[in-house]
Structure 1
Amino acid sequence: MGFFLETLLGGLMTGMLYALVALGFVLIFKASGVFNFAQGAMVLFAALAMARFSEWIPGWLNMEPGAVTVALAIAVSIAIMVGVAWLIERLALRHLVNQEPITLLMATLGIAYLLDGFGPLVFGSAVYKIDVGMPKDPIFILNNLFDGGVLVSQEDLYAAGIAAALVAALTAFFQFTRTGRALRAVADDHQAAQSIGIPLSRMWVIVWSVAGVVALVVGIIWGSKLGVQFSLSLVALKALPVVILGGLTSLPGAIIGGLIIGVGEKLSEVYLGPLVGGGIETWFAYGLALCLLLVRPQGLFGEKIIDRV
C-alpha cells in the first residue's frame, strides 16, 4: 500500500507540473480564442532569461547570490515577458484582427520558431541552472501508517501549491474583474467586443503578458528540476493532452486534466508496463485524449460550442 501511495503521489505531482504548462494554453484560448503554439517557446525564453539574469545581476551589483538577486532576476524576467507580449501584439496580432482562426494559429507557430531561435541567440544555448531556494531533498511522510513511510519530493509539493494558487488567482481574475470579463467577450467575438468599445489591442497585450508570467513560473519550476535547455520548449507537447482532456476554456479543467494524466501515466507504467514491455508512459496521455475526443470533443470541463445558422 505504501508503494502504491508513493506512485500515486508522484503521479499527482507530475500532473501538477503538466497542468502548469496547460494553464498557458487555456489562458490564451479563453481570452482570445487562439490556440497558442508558442507557449512552449515562451517557457524556454522565460526560463533562459531567469537563469541568465540570476547569473548576471550579482556581478553587476557586486552582491552575493541570494534572495535579493533572485527577486531582482524574477522582476527583470517579468518585465521582459511583458515586453515580449507588447511586441507580439504590436508586430503581429494587431495586423490580424478579425482574421480567420487558422491565420492566428499559424501566427503563433511563427512566434514559437522566432522565440526558439532568438532566446538562445541572446542568452546562450548551454544548459543553465535555476535556483530559487526551493528545497530539493525528498521527505518521508505517513511514517506511522506505513513501514518506512512514503517518499515525497518537497520541490513537487511547492510546485503543486504554486499551481493551485495560480488557478485560484486566474479564475478570480476572469470571473470577478472588469478586465477578465472583457477578455472573455473578446474571445467570444472580436468584432462584437470592438463594437462596444473594448480595445482589442490592449486586451491582447494583457492576456499575453499574463501568459508570459505563467510561462516564467513554469520555466522556473521545470528549470529548477531539469535545468534550462532547449528540450524545455518540448514540455508543451506533454500539456496538449491535458488541455484536450480538461477543456480549452477551463482553468480548473487544466489542473484536473493534468492530475488525471499524471496519475494515469505513473500507475500504468508501474503496474501495466512490465506486462507489455514498458513504454506506456510515452503514449498514455495521447491515447486517453484521443478516446475522450471520440465521446466528448470539448473535454471534461470545456464549453460546448453550438453554431446556429
Structure 2
Amino acid sequence: MGFFLETLFGGLMSGMLYALIGLGFVLIFKASGVFNFAQGAMVLVAALSMARFSVWIPQWLGFENKLLANVLAFGVSAALMFVFAWAVERFVLRHLVNQEATTLLMATLGISYFLDGLGQIAFGSSVYSIDVGMPKDPLFVLESVFEGGLLISLEDLTAALVAAALVAMLAVFFQYTGTGRALRAVADDHQAAQSVGIALNRIWVIVWLVAGIVALVAGIIWGSKFGVQFTLATATLRALPVVILGGLTSVPGAIIGGLIIGVGEKLSEVYLGPMVGGGIEIWFAYVLALVFLLFRPQGLFGEKIIDRV
C-alpha cells in the first residue's frame, strides 16, 4: 500500500506540471481559436532566458546574492515575454484576423521555429541549469502508519504547489474579471467581440503575455528538475494529450487531464510495464488521447461544437 501511494503521489506531481504546460495551450486557444504549436518553444525560450540572466545579471552588476539574481532574472524574462506577446500581435495576428484556423495554426508553427532559432542565437545551445532554491532532499512521512514511511520528493511537492497556485489564479482571472470575460468573447467570435467594442489587439497581447508567464513558470520548474536544453521544446509536447483529454477550451479540464495522465503514466509503468517489457510511460498518454478522439473528441470538459448548415 505504501509503494502504491508513493507512485500515486509521484503521478499527481507530474500531472500538475503537465497541467501547467497544457494550460498555455488552452489560454491561446480560448482567445484565438487556434492550437498554439509554439507553446513548447515559448517554454524553452523562457527557461533559457531565466537560466542565462540569473548568471549574467550578477556578473554585470557585480553582486553575488542568488535570490536577488533570480528575482531580477524573472523580471527580465517576464519583460521578454511581454515584448514577444506584443510582437506576435503586431506582426502576425493583426494581419490574420478572421482567417481560417489552418492559417493561424501554420502561423504558430512558424513562430515556433523562429523562437527555436532565436533562442539558440541569443543564449547558445549548451545545457544550462536553473537554481531557484527548490528543495532537493526527499521527505519521509506517515512513518507511524507505513513501515519506513512514504518517500515524497520535496522538489516535486514544491513544483506542484506553485503550479496549483498559478492555475487557481488563472481560473479566477477567467471567471471573475472583465478582461477574462472579454477573452472568452473573443474566442467565441472575433467579429462579434469587435462589434461590442472589444479591442482584439489588446486582448491578444494580454493572452499571449499570460501564456508566456505560464511558459516561464513551467520552464523554471522543468529546468530546475531536468536542466534546460533544446529538447525541452519537444518534451513539452507530451502535454498535448492533456488538452485533448480535458478539452481545448477548459482551464479545469487542463488540470484534471494533467492529473489523470500523470497518475496513469506512473501506475501503468510500475504495474503493467513489467508485463510488456516497459516503456508504457512513453506512449500511455497518446493512446488515451486517441481513445478520447474516437469517442469524445471535445474532451471531458470541452464544449461540443455543432455546425448548422
Residue 236 (structure 1) shift: 2.2
Q: What is the aligned partner in structure 1 of residue 168 from structure 2?
A: 168
- Match of 2:225, SS? helix
Number of the residue aligned with 2:213: 213
Count of aligned residue pairs for this structure pair: 309
1:111-156 Cα deviation digits (max 9, x unpaired)? 0000011111101110011011111111111111101111111111
Counterpart code for 1:146: F
Residue identity (%): 75
Shift of 1:62: 0.8
Residue 191 of structure 1, CA deviation: 0.8
User: Per-residue deviation at 1:235?
Assistant: 2.2
Structure 1: tracts of 5 or more residues without a match: none
Q: What is residue 80 of structure 1 aligned with on the other side?
A: 80
The match for 2:252 is 252
Aligned to 1:304: 304
Query: Are the aligned partners of 1:2 and 1:146 in contact in 2 as well (CA < 8 Å)?
Result: yes
Paired residue type of 1:247 = G
Task: Tell me which residue corresponds to 1:295.
Answer: 295
Q: State the distance in 2 between where 1:97 and 1:254 align.
A: 26
1:106 corresponds to 2:81: no
The normalised TM-score by structure 2 is: 0.98
Q: Secondary structure at the match of 2:231?
A: helix
In structure 2, the residue matched to 1:45 is 45
Letter in 1 for 2:30: K
Instruction: Encode CA deviations 1:189-245: one digit per residue, 9 max, x unaligned.
Output: 111111111111111011000000000000000000010100111122110001100
Show the counterpart of 1:29: 29
After TM superposition, the structure 1 = structure 2 runs for residues 179-190 of structure 1, keeping only pairs within 5 Å, are 179-190=179-190
1:263: which partner in 2? Answer: 263
Measure, in 1, the Cα distance between the counterparts of 2:144 and 2:292: 40
SS of residue in 1 equivalent to 2:81: helix
SS at match of 1:152: strand
Calculate the TM-score normalised by the size of structure 1. Answer: 0.98
- Superposed displacement of residue 302, structure 1: 0.9
Runs of 5+ unmatched residues, structure 2: none
CA RMSD of aligned residues (A): 0.9
Are 1:32 and 1:184, in contact at CA under 8 Å, matched by a contact in 2?
no
What is the alpha-carbon distance in structure 2 between the residues aligned to residue 86 and residue 235 of structure 1? 26
Moved over 6 A (4+): none
Q: Deviations over 1:235-260 (max 9, x none)?
A: 22110001100111111111111111
CA contact (8 A) 1:30 1:184 kept: yes
Q: Please state if 1:133 is matched with 2:133.
A: yes
Q: Kindly state the Cα deviation for residue 308 of structure 1 after the two structures are TM-superposed.
A: 2.3
Instruction: Give the counterpart letter for 1:57 in structure 2.
Output: I
